[in-house]
């Protein structure tokens, strides 16, 4: 392994070959999990290992834009996985600003996701007719992009409103107060169907408009791809998510390398010293909080459009915890870490645990008997309660505990970049 690292040419070759093999395997077996994971592994290795930049772009572009979409047409679940990973990655990056950079433990992050989702859900569906004087709703799908921006603003404002009391508190209290305020937002979504029906309560809101994609279908036709609307939407959302991830990552990097990023890390490392260096505590924290919230809000609007349906169920504490687990797993303060964490946890949660459940169910239904000679077990006796997919809390809890005890810096630890003197052009 060490030898491999020291020889960039060999390293590049190995990664390229693995990527190629994995891609072909995936294209031939779009329904199995293993080739998909290997493809992602190759993608990750290409992006993180010290190989030439053009090769990174080539491998990354090929896998993200060709291999996965091609496999996705054979198995649309891959698109679903890709979109969900993308949404969570963007949120993990947002939470990374709050938890990773500024060191503020926010346990109510899903609240901003809810705010963003409801912002588009209410106005992109007939729901707004319930309380608005003009009966012009749902707004046409073109407004989606505008509302994504509005969701960013509304979520940021919510962040300021929630943060204003919460961020004045010292250390540990912030965690429990954000947890409480996150619940408050969920309870409000659940109960604001009366006296005036804003959110339609526990029933949720549906159907929600999607952005129109006629232009996208026409564009694909020019490339010789004939797709129906139902086939084109997953691809469209997948590509949209990729674009958003790109933007969000760029924003994250730029903030990290500005005076704001430095101020956040200073506060995380030592509040007293940061204040003594002229960094005002509360405004700086509030800025981090609102920044993180706005990422979450944007993804909420996208989520509403993708799902066609929102309800308070989607914005529980476990959602907030899941995103936190992504950040912790990847490495607090680390941008590639947040993306890796999001991919790992999403795949674990929506794919692996469910596959394991299905596998156990199959064994149970088939009445399979395990015979080790000294130990015999008939899977027909397996209790119905044993479904890995229902034990996400245990999985998340275990990840948190083990990471904190054995590797608190995460899989890809935060690495401070080297600042270089650049001549002004």
Partner 1 sequence: MSEAPILEVENVTKTFGGLVAVNDVSLKIPRRMIFAVIGPNGAGKTTFFNLITGIYKPDKGRILFDGEEITGKDPAWIAARGMARTFQNIRLFGSMTAVENVMVARHVHTKTSYADALLHTPRYHREEKKALERSMELLEYMQLSHRAHELAKNLPYGEQRRLEIARALALEPKLLLLDEPAAGMNPQETEDLQKRIVGIRDDLGVTILLIEHDMQLVMSISERIAVLDYGKKILEGTPEEVQNDPRVIEAYLGRGAAEGASS
Partner 2 sequence: MLEILIQLLPSVLLEGLILGFVYAMIALGYTMVYGVLELINFAHSEIFMAGAVAGAETFILLKGVIANPFLLLALALLIGGTVAAVVAILVERLAYRPLRKRGTTNRLVPLITAIGVSFFLQDLVRLIEGLWHNAFYRRYPSFAVFEATYNLPNWIGVITIALTVWVGFWVLAYFGDWLLRRFKNRAPAKGRTLSLVAAGLTLVFLFLYRHVVFADLGMTIQMKSILVIVVSLAMLYGLNWLVHKTKLGIAIRAVAQDAQTASLMGIDPDVIVSRTFLIGGFLGGVAGVLFGLLYTLVHPYVGFIPGIKAFTAAVLGGIGNITGAAVGGLVLGMLEMLGGTYLTFLTNGAMGTEYKDILAFMILIFILLFRPQGIIGQQLGEKV
Residues that bind partner 2 in the complex, under the rule CB under 8 A? 99, 103, 105, 107, 165-166, 168-173, 175-177, 179-181, 183-184, 187, 190-191, 194-195, 272, 317, 321, 324, 328, 332, 383-386, 390-394, 396-401, 404-405, 408
- Give the 3-state secondary structure of residue 376: strand
Burial class (CB in 10 A: 0-12, 13-18, 19+), 409: middle
Helix axes 317-330, 392-406, angle to 10 degrees: 30
Beta strand spans in 317-390 (E): 369-371, 376-378
- Give the 3-state secondary structure of residue 81: helix
What does the binding site for partner 1 look like in residue numbers (CB under 8 A)? 251, 254-255, 258-260, 262-263, 265-266, 269-270, 272-281, 287, 333, 414, 416, 418-419, 421-422, 424
Whole-number minimum distance, CB 298 to partner 1, in Å? 14
Q: CA 295, CA 286: separation in Å to the nearest integer?
A: 14
281 binding partner (options partner 1, partner 2, none; Cβ < 5 to 8 Å by kind) = partner 1
Whole-number minimum distance, CB 260 to partner 1, in Å? 6
How far is the CA of 407 from the CAs of 205, 303, 328, 331, in angstroms?
42, 32, 10, 9
115 binding partner (options partner 1, partner 2, none; Cβ < 5 to 8 Å by kind) = none
Whole-number minimum distance, CB 309 to partner 2, in Å? 22
170 binding partner (options partner 1, partner 2, none; Cβ < 5 to 8 Å by kind) = partner 2
Q: CA 150, CA 137: separation in Å to the nearest integer?
A: 17
Of residues 268 and 306, the one with the C-beta less far from partner 1: 268
Dihedrals φ, ψ of 204, to 5°? 80, 180
Q: Dihedral through CA 68, CA 69, CA 70, CA 75, nearest 10?
A: 80
398 binding partner (options partner 2, partner 1, none; Cβ < 5 to 8 Å by kind) = partner 2
385 binding partner (options partner 1, partner 2, none; Cβ < 5 to 8 Å by kind) = partner 2
Whole-number minimum distance, CB 17 to partner 2, in Å? 39
135 binding partner (options partner 1, partner 2, none; Cβ < 5 to 8 Å by kind) = none
- Find the DSSP H helices in 53-142: 53-61, 68-74, 77-95, 110-123
Whole-number minimum distance, CB 265 to partner 1, in Å? 6
């Amino acid at each position: 392994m060490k030898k491999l690292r020291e020889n960039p040419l060999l390293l590049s070759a190995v990664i390229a070959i693995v990527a190629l093999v994995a891609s072909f395997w995936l294209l031939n077996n779009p329904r199995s999990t293993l080739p998909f994971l290997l493809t992602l592994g190759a993608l990750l290795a290409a992006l993180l290992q010290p190989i030439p930049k053009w090769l990174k772009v080539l491998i990354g572009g090929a896998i993200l834009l060709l291999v996965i979409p091609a496999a996705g047409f054979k198995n649309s679940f891959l698109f679903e996985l890709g979109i969900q990973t993308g949404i969570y990655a963007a949120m993990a990056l947002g939470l990374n600003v709050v938890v990773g950079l500024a060191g503020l433990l926010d346990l109510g992050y899903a609240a901003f996701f809810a705010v963003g989702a409801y912002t588009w859900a209410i106005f992109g569906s007939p729901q707004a007719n319930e309380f608005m004087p003009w009966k012009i709703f749902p707004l046409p799908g073109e407004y989606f992009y505008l509302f994504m921006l509005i969701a960013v603003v509304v979520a940021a404002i919510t962040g300021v409103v929630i943060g204003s009391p919460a961020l004045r508190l010292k250390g540990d209290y912030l965690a429990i107060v954000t947890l409480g305020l996150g619940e408050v937002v969920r309870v409000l979504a659940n109960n604001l169907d009366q006296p005036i029906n804003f959110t339609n309560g526990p029933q949720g809101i549906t159907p929600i408009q999607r952005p129109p994609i006629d232009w996208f279908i026409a564009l694909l036709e020019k490339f010789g791809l004939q797709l129906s609307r139902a086939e084109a939407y997953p691809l469209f959302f997948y590509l949209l998510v990729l674009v958003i991830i790109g933007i969000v990552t760029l924003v994250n990097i730029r903030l990290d390398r500005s005076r704001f990023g430095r101020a956040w890390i200073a506060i995380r490392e030592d509040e007293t010293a940061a204040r003594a260096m002229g960094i005002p505590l509360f405004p700086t924290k509030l800025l981090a909080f609102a920044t993180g919230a706005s990422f979450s809000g944007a993804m909420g609007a996208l989520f509403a459009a993708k799902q066609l349906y929102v309800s308070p169920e989607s914005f529980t504490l476990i959602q907030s915890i899941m995103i936190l687990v992504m950040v912790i797993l990847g490495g607090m303060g680390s941008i590639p870490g947040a993306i890796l964490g999001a991919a790992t946890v999403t795949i674990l949660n929506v794919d692996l645990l469910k596959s394991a459940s299905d596998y156990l169910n199959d064994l149970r239904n088939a009445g399979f008997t395990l015979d080790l000679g000294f130990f015999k077990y008939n899977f027909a006796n397996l209790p119905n309660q044993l479904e890995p997919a229902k034990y996400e809390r245990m999985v998340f809890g275990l990840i948190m505990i083990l990471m904190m005890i054995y590797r608190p810096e995460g899989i890809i630890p935060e690495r401070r970049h080297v600042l270089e003197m650049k001549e002004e052009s």
